[in-house]
Amino acid sequence: MAFSSTIDNRPHSIGDLVLLSGTFNAAGATTGAIDLSAHLTSILSAQVNGDTLGDVTGGGVDGALGLITAATTLTIDCVSGNTGKWTVIGSR
């Protein structure tokens, strides 16, 4: 399998900011990109929380790390088989 993700279809607006959230599943992958360009013009902040029991020593080792790799792309770096949730705050 490959990296997969979901985007909650109920974004929250805070003035000119948008809060988006979703899930990820890194079955058979160690990294995956989530393109949010349909919703945002830039990402200001991102958070990734791993659900896997072994998420104890940090991103890329046993946990998950969120990287803003382009203006509207969140890349999640984790161990294969990791699952979790992500949250992004960005500009419209």
Dump pLDDT digits (tens) for 48-70.
998 876 666 655 566 788 999 99
Band (82; pLDDT cuts 50, 70, 90): confident
Residues forming beta bridges with residue 38, ordered by sequence position = none
Residue 5 has a pLDDT of 95
Residue 51 has a pLDDT of 83
Cα separation, 49 vs 59, whole angstroms:
10
- Please state which CATH number belongs to domain 3-91: 2.60.40.3940
Taking the model in full, what pTM does it have?
A: 0.87
The per-residue pLDDT for range 1-26, each reduced to its tens digit, is 689 999 999 999 999 999 999 999 98
- Exposed, middle or buried, 56 (CB in 10 Å: 0-12/13-18/19+)? exposed
Break the chain into its structural domains and give their ranges.
3-91
